[in-house]
Amino acid sequence: MSHETYKGNWNVIKGKLKQSYANLTEDDVQYAEGKEDEMLGRIQQKVGKTKQEIKDQIDSWLK
């Protein structure tokens, strides 16, 4: 999925991430333009998955 698709659907994605991983905080899933990798890194550390696994999961939610 493209950057714009993620940005446009971020509230949905954020909600699904927080439902799937209860240990994520609002700060962990805070979207900031140009800081997507940093955010994915925070999520990666908390949930124990690779960045690619997280991206694949997000993509599946948007289909």
Distance CA 41, CA 51 (A): 7
Q: Which residue has the tokens 């690779």?
A: 50
The pTM assigned to this predicted structure is 0.79
Residue 7: which pLDDT band, with cuts at 50, 70 and 90?
Answer: confident
Taking residues 2-7, report their average pLDDT. Answer: 74
Distance CA 20, CA 17 (A): 5
Architecture in CATH of 3-62: Orthogonal Bundle (1.10)
Domain map (residue ranges) of the chain? 3-62
- Spatial contact of 34 and 53, defined as CB atoms under 8 Å apart: no
Distance CA 9, CA 41 (A): 20
Q: Is the pLDDT of residue 5 over 80?
A: no
* Tokens coding 12: 């949905």
Residue 42: which pLDDT band, with cuts at 50, 70 and 90?
Answer: very high
